[in-house]
């Protein structure tokens, strides 16, 4: 990654020999391996931070202006504390404003500030680049104001500030991962409580490849809302037998017994969620035991379930997954993200990568999309780079 400190000084004409402090923090992207399509606010996910980061640099100004510079895009935005609010045209700068909002509402002396943002998280493919900007900005300001606020408290402030700033509920999972992640660890996160457990990576001899299929994703939000509605309806029908229950309180047998009571489509959606919960625990056990055949089976069944029961895959993604699974040296491959296009992840031996790349030529020839490949690994979370 480029030297953000040098870029920041050049952008704001800061003299390197003078005493203007520059505080820099970084926050990682993340990937979900299992569980992301779960019961709303009650899911169970297997995830990790990835070794792709957003860095945010902050320094003081002599006036009361707030200046923002996106070095990757060559774009500049500006605001003031009085006018600190969401603006559609400010796009990426809105996420830095969330961090400013935290410390302004906590009573810290937010005056004129310069910000620069720079990163290598691929954008718009579901790797949490937006959340990483928010967390990096908040962490940089925590260092700038020399605040002794814990990560747990910062998490609470990020959730509150995001909700107030964007005036809509936020999913805090990305914040949890960005703040809690450690190198070479997977996290199992309970969405209902935000509690997490750590699983040491046992796949260090493998590479993890993220494949952006480049399939245009149109109408995704409507499709996902429809599935969420199906889940709620299915739970309401099932809960007639178990008052106050969530889908965690049911097993596959319950859904089989309810075939006459649940519409088939709703039963399939619910079946995916119930079985995916079990798969997260099975994956944890397989990772702890270094049982690669068991882990491979879990990943395979999870993608089949997303394809056949939850129905959020597409022909291009299914092709990528199937071809990957045919290669000797591939532990597993599965879609990740919201679906209907987007990405797959593949856990693969170094010796098999060349064959994997070769097969992508067939993908482009058949479907007409030029896929983009990223290599990642489970990585450490947010940190202060310099102060």
Following CA atoms 100, 30, 33, 380 in sequence, which dihedral angle do they give, to the nearest 10 degrees? -110
Q: What is the C-alpha separation between 182 and 129, in angstroms, rounded?
A: 18
DSSP category for residue 355: H
Q: What are the φ/ψ torsions at residue 149 (nearest 5 degrees)?
A: -115, 130
Q: What is the C-alpha separation between 344 and 320, in angstroms, rounded?
A: 8
Look at residue 290 and give its three-state secondary structure.
coil
How many alpha carbons lie under 13 Å from residue 90 in its C-beta half-sphere? 20
Structure tokens at 255: 């859904």
Look at residue 84 and give its three-state secondary structure.
coil
Q: What is the C-alpha separation between 333 and 320, in angstroms, rounded?
A: 8
156 is catalytic: no
Q: What is the C-alpha separation between 360 and 36, in angstroms, rounded?
A: 26
Q: What is the C-alpha separation between 56 and 33, in angstroms, rounded?
A: 27
Q: What are the φ/ψ torsions at residue 60 (nearest 5 degrees)?
A: -80, 155
Structure tokens at 225: 């809302």
Which residue among 174, 212, 230, 282 is the active-site one? 174
Q: Which burial class, exposed, middle or buried, applies to 307 when counting CB atoms under 10 A from its CB (0-12, 13-18, 19+)?
A: buried
Look at residue 383 and give its three-state secondary structure.
strand
Question: What are the catalytic residues?
Answer: 174
């Amino acid at each position: 990654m480029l030297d953000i400190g040098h870029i920041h000084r050049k952008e704001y004409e800061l003299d390197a020999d003078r005493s203007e402090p520059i505080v820099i923090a970084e926050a990682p992207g993340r990937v979900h391996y299992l569980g992301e399509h779960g019961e709303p606010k009650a899911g169970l996910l297997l995830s990790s931070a990835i070794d792709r980061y957003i860095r945010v640099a902050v320094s003081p100004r002599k006036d009361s202006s707030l200046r923002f510079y996106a070095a990757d895009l060559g774009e500049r935005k500006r605001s003031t504390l009085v006018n600190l609010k969401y603006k559609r045209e400010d796009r990426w700068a809105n996420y830095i404003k969330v961090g400013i909002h935290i410390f302004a509402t906590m009573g810290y002396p937010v005056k004129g500030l310069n910000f620069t943002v720079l990163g290598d998280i691929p954008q718009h493919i579901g790797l949490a680049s937006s959340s990483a900007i928010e967390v990096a900005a908040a962490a940089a300001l925590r260092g700038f104001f020399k605040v002794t606020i814990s990560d747990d408290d910062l998490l609470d402030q990020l959730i509150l500030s995001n909700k107030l700033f964007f005036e809509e509920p936020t999913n805090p999972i990305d914040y949890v991962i960005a703040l809690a992640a450690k190198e070479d660890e997977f996290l199992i996160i309970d969405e209902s409580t935000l509690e997490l457990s750590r699983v040491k990576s046992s796949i260090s001899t493998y590479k993890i490849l993220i494949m952006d299929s480049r399939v245009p994703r149109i109408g995704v939000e409507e499709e996902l809302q429809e599935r969420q509605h199906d889940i709620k309806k299915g739970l309401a029908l099932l809960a007639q037998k178990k008052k106050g229950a969530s889908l965690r309180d049911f097993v596959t047998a319950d859904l089989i017994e309810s075939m006459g009571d649940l519409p088939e489509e709703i039963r399939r959606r619910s079946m995916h969620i119930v079985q995916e919960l079990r798969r997260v625990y099975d994956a944890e056990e397989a990772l702890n035991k270094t049982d690669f055949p068991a882990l491979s089976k879990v990943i395979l069944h999870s993608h089949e379930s997303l394809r056949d029961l939850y129905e959020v895959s597409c022909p291009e993604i299914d092709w990528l997954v199937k071809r990957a699974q045919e290669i000797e040296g591939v532990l597993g491959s599965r879609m990740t993200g919201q679906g209907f296009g987007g990405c797959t992840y593949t856990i693969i031996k170094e010796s098999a990568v060349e064959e994997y790349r070769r097969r992508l030529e067939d993908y482009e020839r058949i479907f007409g999309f030029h896929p983009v490949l990223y290599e990642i690994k489970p990585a450490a979370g947010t940190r202060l780079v310099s102060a």
